[in-house]
Amino acid sequence: MTIWETLKEYFIGAVQTEYTFKDEWLPMLEANLPLYHKLPDDVKQRLHQKIGQFIATTYFEGCGDLELTEEMILTVAGQACLLVVNHEGAPYPRLNSVLLYPSTFRSVVKDTGSFGITTEQTVSRLGESWSNGTVVLAWDSVKHGARNIHDGHNVTLHEFAHQLDSESGSTNGVPRLADHEAFQTWATVLGPGYETLVDNAERGRKTVLDHYGATNIAEYFAVATEAFFEKPRQLKKKKPELYAELQSYYQVDPLEWIHPKSKGTTD
């Protein structure tokens, strides 16, 4: 039995009885999960439940001779579930599997030109999100991205933002939203925001969002998600409307976790 199968059996059994998250796992989350030690206790409890659901329903496999450990599985699940900690239902209903490599892995990218000629190129990757419900990650990047929670770079948050994006039917920078009005507001904020980032990237201007977000609107959403959770103060100051949209969608306010208001104060 693999370590994932052992964890899966535990969590399946746990949800059928009295749910418990083992104390021995907490140091792994504290070391490898952005913001975990700053979360309120009730949010931590919801996160533990989401992690259990995630592991019980998602296949994990080590690739490139990587031998999976509890730490690896719990770290990926914890980071992914932080995005959906306040969402109802299964964490990622369309997700099937997570593939982990020890480090940078190679991927074949196909491109069809204007004359119908398809070319293939092998590129190095830190992470990928596939439309068939698979996420591929480099473990060393997962750990590094989690332990520096202020640089705005986290490959796990990035790739799982793509998974959320794809829940609407296509990966186009628009995840599944509550209603048409929410869609209209989303488009009004993220569309112009993306165009502004493209312009700033072309001009070489420093921005709160990584210039990789100027690749396309889907990458803009993923990069904005990284900044929302890791650089909330800067993002809210520089792009308050974008911050508000992400706060509404994710149903959390990371800034309150990092800088909670003192009791007895008023705005």
Structure confidence by residue, pLDDT tens digits, 118-172: 656 666 677 899 989 999 999 999 998 777 777 778 999 999 999 999 998 889 9
49 and 143 in a single domain? The answer is: yes
Confidence of residue 195 (pLDDT cuts 50, 70, 90): very high
83 and 15 in a single domain? The answer is: yes
User: What is the crossing angle of helices 155-166 and 139-147, to 10°?
Assistant: 100
Residue carrying structure tokens 């899966």: 8
2 and 77 in a single domain? The answer is: yes
Note whether residue 97 is domain-resident.
Answer: yes
Any bridge partners for residue 59, and if so which?
97
141 and 233 in a single domain? The answer is: no
Structure confidence by residue, pLDDT tens digits, 202-237: 999 999 999 999 999 999 999 999 999 999 999 999
What angle (nearest 5°) sits at the alpha carbon of residue 163, between those of residues 81 and 188? 105
Confidence of residue 267 (pLDDT cuts 50, 70, 90): very low
53 and 133 in a single domain? The answer is: yes
| CA dist., res. 29 & res. 27, Å (int) | 5
Note whether residue 159 is domain-resident.
Answer: no
Note whether residue 69 is domain-resident.
Answer: yes
Q: What is the model's pTM?
A: 0.89
- Contact between 54 and 21 under an 8 Å Cβ cutoff? The reply is no
Is the confidence at residue 248, as pLDDT, over 50? yes
Is the confidence at residue 260, as pLDDT, over 80? no
Note whether residue 41 is domain-resident.
Answer: yes
- Contact between 59 and 4 under an 8 Å Cβ cutoff? The reply is yes
210 and 143 in a single domain? The answer is: no
55 and 138 in a single domain? The answer is: yes
DSSP state of 204: T
Number of domains in the chain: 2
135 and 228 in a single domain? The answer is: no
CATH code of 223's domain = 3.40.390.10
2 and 54 in a single domain? The answer is: yes
CATH code of 6's domain = 1.10.472.150
pLDDT of residue 265: 39
- Contact between 236 and 210 under an 8 Å Cβ cutoff? The reply is no
Burial of 234 (C-beta count, 10 Å sphere; 0-12/13-18/19+): middle
Note whether residue 247 is domain-resident.
Answer: yes
97 and 7 in a single domain? The answer is: yes
User: What is the crossing angle of helices 70-82 and 41-57, to 10°?
Assistant: 120
145 and 172 in a single domain? The answer is: no
Is the confidence at residue 60, as pLDDT, over 70? yes
Structure confidence by residue, pLDDT tens digits, 22-58: 999 999 999 998 789 999 999 999 999 999 999 999 9
135 and 27 in a single domain? The answer is: yes
> If DSSP codes are grouped into helix, strand and coil, which group holds residue 122?
strand
What angle (nearest 5°) sits at the alpha carbon of residue 119, between those of residues 118 and 122? 145
Any bridge partners for residue 127, and if so which?
137
Structure confidence by residue, pLDDT tens digits, 69-94: 999 999 999 999 999 999 999 999 99
**Closest-CA residue to 2 (of 100, 140, 139, 102):** 100
Q: Which domain holds residue 256?
A: 168-267
Q: Which residues fall within 8 angstroms of residue 167, CB to CB, at 6 or more apart?
A: 93, 94, 175, 176
